[in-house]
Amino acid sequence: MEIVHVSAECYPMAKSGGLGDVVGALPKYQTQAKHYAKVVMPMYRTKYLYQNQWQVDAKGTVTMGELFFEYTVIKDPTVKLGFDLYLVDIPGLLDREQIYGYDDDTERFTAFQIAVLDWINQWQHLPDVVHCHDHHTGLVPFMMKHSYAFQKLSKVPTVFTIHNAQYQGWMGWNKSNYLPAWDSWKGGLLEWAGTINPLAAGIKAAWKVTTVSWSYLEELRNAANGLEALFEYEKGKCVGILNGIDADVWNPAEDSFIHQKYSLATVKKGKKANKDKLCEQFGLPKNLPLFVFIGRLVGEKAADILPDALGRALYYYKNQCSILVLGSGDKQVELELQQVAAANTNHMNCYIGYNEALSHQIYAGADFLLMPSRVEPCGLNQLYAMAYGTVPVVRNTGGLRDTVKDMGDAGGWGIRFNNATADDLLHAMYRGIDLYQNHATQLQNMRATMMQINHSWENCVNEYLTMYENL
Ligand code: ADP
Ligand code: GLC
């Protein structure tokens, strides 16, 4: 099958979170399974763009209401990523350093989606499936079915994967003329609560909808930022498929980002060497259990409870633990975390910003990874932590519920708690400290158990392939 993934992110070209990781890995494993998977994404001005050679694949023009733009599709001529990567350049709209966060994001991503379809429309053949990811690509299934210009594509199956339903890409009806002329009887498919809602449009118009874990799909029927009724209504075409991890990138035995590589056989020594290095770098004691947080400092991740919870942990469990935070996001949370770190210089440190290499070293060197998330569609951090023998401390929600078993249950290897509150997180940290101080053998066994769990994409890729085949 020929599969076209359409996405706003793809590692290593551009990543702001797990979406980038997934779109950078799934096509590689689909290609390894003898299919032809390609990714098309915007050509942002990232480091990866400048470090690599590209060749022009196609050019075209698109009108969007009163706006007119030219686009160029370029291609990585090598096969180094394990799949074909295409970038869409639209000068004036997509040529920015950041992925999101601009006032004209609506125009940027609408133009991107139209250009992608205009490009596919030029091909001599049709792909077997177009697989869209999140709201930035949610208008694609609608336009393929109902825009006259893309009639040729109306029989091509579409899959829409929801990595995050919090963001929906809302746009006013005054922008409906951006989309190439469409069958006006179908306007209801674009609409939700008085606005054009690209996420809702994707759910309604795609042939099949997937979420990145089973529990998240169930939760969406009760909490989906306004779309609960839609998820209930469309449940027949929705299915949960758990994410995998890319073992070529996330494997402590081969990870060149980390200070000392290690495997299951050498985990104790290997983690110690990595922890010592990390503690030296961040001025932390080497002999205490090290708790870390890696991620976007936003409400979904419950980052707002961290300053209070971590400050209290360092007070109540004085000289019994140390803490390292890597992340960026909400400015108030960044400031508060830095204040707590400044008040506890020898036991806590923060790196405010994004640092891919450091994240690997932290998964390798930490003892416990904190994820108090309010919403977690799948979560990759806990899967990476497990592959590196780091105990995940997670709230009972979404993909965290589906992938972490509490150490209190037979054969469990993680710590789970119910509420995204400082009190619950503190109690969970207490269980971690007790484990580290008093149950070294159990900790060692838990590491062995989690490191042997196979979360590789090889397992889940077939679920997608079977779904495409059925379509
Ligand atoms: P989300 O996509 O909601 O942010 P995931 O758990 O799916 O959450 O994926 C987060 C990804 O982003 C992981 O690869 C994680 O290591 C990475 N990440 C998040 N914040 C940072 C950061 N500040 N520096 C480096 N990597 C980060
Ligand atoms: C989203 C979710 C995260 C998930 C990732 C990849 O960003 O917040 O839970 O792991 O997408 O699917």
Q: Which helix (H) or strand (E) holds 206?
A: none
With tokens 């609506």, the residue in question is: 106
Ligand nearest to the CA of 334: 1
- Give the pLDDT of residue 365: 98
| pLDDT beyond 90 at 447 | yes
Measure the CA–CA gap between 194 and 204, rounded to whole angstroms: 16
Measure the CA–CA gap between 207 and 228, rounded to whole angstroms: 19
Q: Is there an atom of ligand 2 within 6 Å of 162 CB?
A: no
Please give the distance, rounded to the nearest whole angstrom, from the Cα atom of residue 440 to the centre of ligand 2: 32
Measure the CA–CA gap between 388 and 366, rounded to whole angstroms: 9
| pLDDT beyond 90 at 334 | yes
Q: Is there an atom of ligand 2 within 6 Å of 163 CB?
A: yes
Q: Is there an atom of ligand 2 within 6 Å of 133 CB?
A: no
Please give the distance, rounded to the nearest whole angstrom, from the Cα atom of residue 298 to the centre of ligand 2: 13
Atom nearest to 358 CA in ligand 1 = 25
Instruction: Provide the mean pLDDT of the chain.
Output: 97
Measure the CA–CA gap between 113 and 215, rounded to whole angstroms: 30
**Ligand 1 site, CB within 6 A:** 17-19, 21, 294-296, 326-328, 354-356, 359, 378-381
Residues 289-301: what's their mean pLDDT?
97
Per-residue pLDDT band for 305 (boundaries 50, 70, 90) equals: very high
| pLDDT beyond 90 at 79 | no
| pLDDT beyond 90 at 161 | yes
The CB-side HSE value for 346 (13 A sphere, CA atoms) comes to 8
**Taking Cα atoms as reference points, which of 268, 292, 284 lies closest to residue 446?**
268
Measure the CA–CA gap between 122 and 52, rounded to whole angstroms: 26
Ligand nearest to the CA of 166: 2
Residues 317-334: what's their mean pLDDT?
97
With tokens 């994967």, the residue in question is: 161
Residues 239-250: what's their mean pLDDT?
95
The CB-side HSE value for 136 (13 A sphere, CA atoms) comes to 22
In tens, the pLDDT along 193-234 reads 999 999 999 999 999 999 999 999 999 999 999 999 999 999
Ligand nearest to the CA of 297: 1
- Is omega for the bond preceding 12 within 30 degrees of 0, making it cis? yes
| pLDDT beyond 90 at 49 | yes
Token output for 100: 């999101």
Measure the CA–CA gap between 56 and 59, rounded to whole angstroms: 8
Q: Is there an atom of ligand 2 within 6 Å of 212 CB?
A: yes
| pLDDT beyond 90 at 400 | yes
Q: How many residues does the chain have?
A: 471
**2-35 burial string, b = 16+ CB within 10 Å, else e?**
ebbbbbbbbbbbbbebbbbbbbbbbbbbbbeeeb
Residue in 164, 369, 395, 397 to alter for ligand 2 test, most ligand atoms within 8 A of Cβ: 164
- Give the pLDDT of residue 29: 97
Domains 2-244+458-470 and 264-451 share a fold: yes
Ligand nearest to the CA of 298: 1
In tens, the pLDDT along 272-283 reads 999 999 999 999
Measure the CA–CA gap between 77 and 80, rounded to whole angstroms: 9
391 in Cβ contact with 368 (< 8 Å): yes
Fold adopted by 264-451: Rossmann fold (3.40.50)
With vertex at residue 359, the alpha carbon angle to CA 356 and CA 363, rounded to the nearest 5 degrees, is: 150
Domain boundaries 2-244+458-470, corresponding CATH code: 3.40.50.2000
Measure the CA–CA gap between 201 and 194, rounded to whole angstroms: 13
- Give the pLDDT of residue 224: 97
Minimal-distance CA residue to ligand 1 atom 20: 295
Per-residue pLDDT band for 285 (boundaries 50, 70, 90) equals: very high
Q: Which helix (H) or strand (E) holds 55?
A: strand 55-64
The pTM (predicted TM-score) of the whole model is: 0.96
Per-residue pLDDT band for 396 (boundaries 50, 70, 90) equals: very high
Spans of all domains in the chain? 2-244+458-470, 264-451
**Taking Cα atoms as reference points, which of 217, 119, 107 lies closest to residue 161?**
217
Compute φ and ψ for 344, nearest 5 degrees.
Answer: -135, 50
| pLDDT beyond 90 at 134 | yes
Q: Give the SS3 label for residue 23.
A: helix
In tens, the pLDDT along 453-467 reads 999 998 889 999 999
Measure the CA–CA gap between 412 and 143, rounded to whole angstroms: 47
- Give the pLDDT of residue 459: 82
Q: Is there an atom of ligand 2 within 6 Å of 328 CB?
A: no
- Give the pLDDT of residue 84: 97
